[in-house]
Each structure stands twice: as structure tokens, then as C-alpha cells.
A and B are shown apart, each in its own frame.
Chain A
Amino acid sequence: MKKTGKTFIIKDDVIIRDTYTIAGSKEGQGPLKGRFDMVLDDDLWEEDTWEKCELKMQKTAVENLKNKNSLINENIDLLISGDLLNQITSSSFAARELELPYIGVYGACSTMTLTMGLGALIIDGGFAENVICVTSSHFCSAERQYRLPLEMGGQRHMSAQWTVTGSAAVWLSNSGKGPKIKHVTFGKIVDLGVKDANNMGAAMAPAAYDSLSRHLQDTGIDYDLIVTGDLGKVGKSIVNKMFDEDNKSIESKYDDCGTIIFDVNKQDVHAGGSGCGCSATVFGSFLYKKLLNNEIKKLLFTSTGALHSPTATLQGESIPGIAHCLGIEV
């Protein structure tokens, strides 16, 4: 492994062998309809709490990914996962039943590329052959932790985003065929003082711009597609503006998972989707298939996270943003 600037170059092959995605019913009716491996009929999935439903999604995503590829635990070296809930409950409780060496991480909505980036470094360092990365989010469990009770009758702000109900598991390996992770740029915390918890896109956009511009400068690669995690309409517009001002417009090849997973004009999600499950399910169901089908050859995939704490917000703190980039090539 080498470095260019602060970007890690993955020297040996780290191959994304397969993915498995589970989406909620609202997500399953959106623009990516028919692309997910599994779509839930309701938000409880025969469990008695939303939290149990979320950990069941993570567990099932990993189990079905293993079954799909005839993988057994003996061949998997590591499970890296994370989610939005306090004490990363869904991840740890799902791992309880998966019986794999487990690293739990917290990166808010940036978790998908955080886990995949860590997995890639561990494989490239020669410490593991097969790693499974998984993350999830659930609209109801996230709402009750971060905002208000679901049955509370009020209006959401127009800049607010809709937490995606979904989970995706990704299998990374040092052998086989598939798209390869070539570069990893971990983000710096960037906080430009946004305190509005209803405008996460604006809070995360500067971090996305910072990581993307550092990655593009470090690698000099001309990507076919650049995708951020969950900036939504607001954050996406800000990132475009920032690159335009540098005379390095990326608008023609740039999109955001928050505006891919939902039809923001028809599905009443205001500024778009968010949550760990947003970039995870869009990557697993849509972007990965584009790479497999050679529709794109070079993808810059960047999950974005608002490291927001309701307690800190009440104490007057602003929202720190982060974004981790993966340069993926066929």
C-alpha cells in the first residue's frame, strides 16, 4: 500500500465480489424499483420493534450474501459494520448472531464507504482475504432517536431529508472477478457552522467538497461518475456550486444517492433520502450493477455523514460533516 497525498493507493487487488440489498417499501416503490434483492412489505417485518427490524435487515443481508455465494464463516475473516443508532445497536446485535470477528464503526451516514475503505486497507495489508461490510438505517428508529415521535402531527422543513429504510452487505475479497477498489480517501471533519438539524445536506456539503477535491487532486483520475451519499437536493447544489467556483465543474457526471433512491418530486421526501442505508442500498443495487455491466468503468463513490448529536445540537453546537471516498474501477 502506498499513499498519494492523503489518499491511500490499494496496491494489490481488492475486489468487490458481490452485494446484497434490502429496502423498505417506500424505497422499493421509488426510481430503483425492481433493483433491490429484497423489499420489505412493512416497517416491522414481523418483529415487535423498529430496532429489531433494522438489525434483522443487517443480519439477513449478510446471511443472504453468504448463501448467494456459498460463503461459509470459515472463509470470512472480518465483519465491519455500523449504523445510526446509539451504541451502534443494529450492528452489534446483528453481529451477535453472525459469529464472525467483528469491528463496529460509527460514521453516521458515511458508514458504507468507511467500512469498505477499512476493509480494503486490511485486505491490501495482507491481514484478511475476505471481508464483509454492512450497514443499515431505518426511518422509524432514526426518527425517534434524532427527532420527534412518528405520530406527532407537525410539518417537516422543506430542506429535511427522509431516512432510508434499508441495508446493504458488500463482500470484499483479494481474489476473483469484479470491480476493484483502487483508492481510498478518508475524510476530514469539516464544520462550517450549520446548526439546523433539518438541513443535513448543507451541513455535509463542505465535507463532501473537501474529500472529493482532495481525492481528485491526489489521484488525477477522470471518473465516469461521481456519486455522493446523501446530500439531497440542497447539498448537491452546494457541491456543484463549490466546484463551479473552482472552474472544475463536475455537474455533468455528478449525482447523489439521496436524489437517486427517491423521486424527490413525487415521493414527498422533501430534499431527498438520507441515512447509512441510502448510499449503501444505492451502491449495492444500482451503482455496482453499472460497474458489472461496464456502463461505467471508473466510479468515485463517496458516502457522506452528518456526525450530529441531538444533545450537542440542544447545547448550541453546530453539525460536523465527514465524507469518505472510494475510487472504484472495473
Chain B
Amino acid sequence: MKYNKNNYKKVVDEFTPKNKILKNCLMAFIFGGTICLIGEIINDSFVGWLGISDDEASPMTSVVLVGLSAVLTGLGWYDKLGKIGGAGMVVPITGFANSVVSPALEYKREGFILGTAANIFKLAGPVLLFGYFSSFIVGLLSMLFK
């Protein structure tokens, strides 16, 4: 065979279909933007209609979005939206909720403890780890330079 590990990559690149970056970016903007818009509407409703303070409305909005995402994941709709919206469905907090609920659902057949509980953070684990770690660093810096 005339191909080896060095020259085969060119052949692979020649025949591998490219991702439609422009279309994906546009869809991510629309879907991600829509989720943020929904978040803003919920937030403003809490503040304007229910008279909740800005500081309290913000985490409550996150809770509602996470809840909606979990329900959509359970109904089997979130992955269909994710297929079209791409990063727009992954990056917002709803994507984080989806990454927790989807393994939870998938592993429930292996039992509650060693299935669901052991695997629930399989995808979200790295996000949590780096989230905690970076907040620790930021906290440390703010304490040092206050």
C-alpha cells in the first residue's frame, strides 16, 4: 500500500465532509439567543409582576430554565433541538441541565445508586470541577487584592 500514516491524512481530509460553520453559527445564535430572551422575560416577570428583587430574581430564573430543560430532556425533545441549535443549546444553563439529566435517564436501568447516582455527573463533572476551581482562584485573588 502506498499510503502511510503521514500521507493518508490528506486523503481523509479530501473526502471528509466539512461542517457548515456559518449555518451552525447562525443557528447557535438564534437558539442560544432565544433561550437568553426567554430567561430575560422570566427574570423581568419576577421583578415586574411579582415584585422580587433583582438579586433574588436571577437565581430563580436559572432554576426555572434548568427545570424547563430537564422536562424537555425527559420528553426527548432537547436532543432534537440540540441537533438543530448546536452550541446554542449546549452553552446556556439549559445545556448544563441537559448534560446532567441525560446520563441520569440513561443509567437508571443500572440502578439508582450505581447507575443514576454514579453517572449523573459523567458529562457535567468537568464543568463542575473547573467551575469550583476557578471560583476558588477568583475568591483567593479578590481576598488578596481587596
CB within 8 Å of B: which residues of A? 48-49, 144, 148-159, 190, 192-194, 199, 202, 206, 209-210, 233-234, 237-238, 241-242, 245, 271, 318
Contact = CB atoms under 8 A, between A and B. Distances in A.
Given A151-B98, A153-B90, A155-B83, A192 B19 contact: no
Nearest to A198: B16
A154 B88 CA distance: 9
B8 A152 contact: no
A153 B82 contact: yes
Given A153-B89, A157-B19, 8 more contacts: A49-B109, A150-B102, A151-B101, A152-B99, A153-B73, A153-B102, A159-B16, A202-B15
B17 A158 contact: yes
Contacts of B86: 154-155
Given A151-B73, A153-B98, A206 B82 contact: no
Interface in B5-31: 5, 8-9, 11-12, 15-19, 24
By Cβ-Cβ distance, the 3 closest A-B pairs, closest first, are A153-B82, A193-B5, A151-B102
A199 B14 CA distance: 13
A206 B106 contact: no
Interface string B98-127: 110111011001000000000000110000
A206 B8 contact: yes
Contacts of B44: none
A157 B83 CA distance: 11
B19 A149 contact: no
B4 interface: yes
Interface string B70-105: 000110101111110110011000010011011101
Interface of B: 1-5, 8-9, 11-12, 15-19, 24, 73-74, 76, 78-83, 85-86, 89-90, 95, 98-99, 101-103, 105-106, 109, 122-123
A152 B5 contact: no
Given A152-B123, A153-B95, A155-B24, A192 B5 contact: yes
A155 B82 contact: yes
Contacts of A154: 79, 82-83, 86, 89-90
Contacts, number: 100
Contacts of B85: 153
A168 to B, nearest CB: 26
B117 to A, nearest CB: 15
Contacts of A151: 73-74, 76, 78-79, 98, 101-102, 105-106
Contact of B83 (A148, A153, A193): A153
A48 B103 CA distance: 17
Contacts of B2: 245
B106 A153 contact: no
B17 A234 contact: yes
Contacts of A318: 5
Contacts of A153: 73, 78-83, 85, 89-90, 95, 98, 102
A150 B106 contact: yes
B11 to A, nearest CB: 6
Given A151-B98, A159-B16, A159-B17, A209 B78 contact: no
Contacts of B15: 202, 233-234, 237-238, 241
A149 B102 contact: yes
A212 to B, nearest CB: 12
A202 B82 contact: no
B21 to A, nearest CB: 11
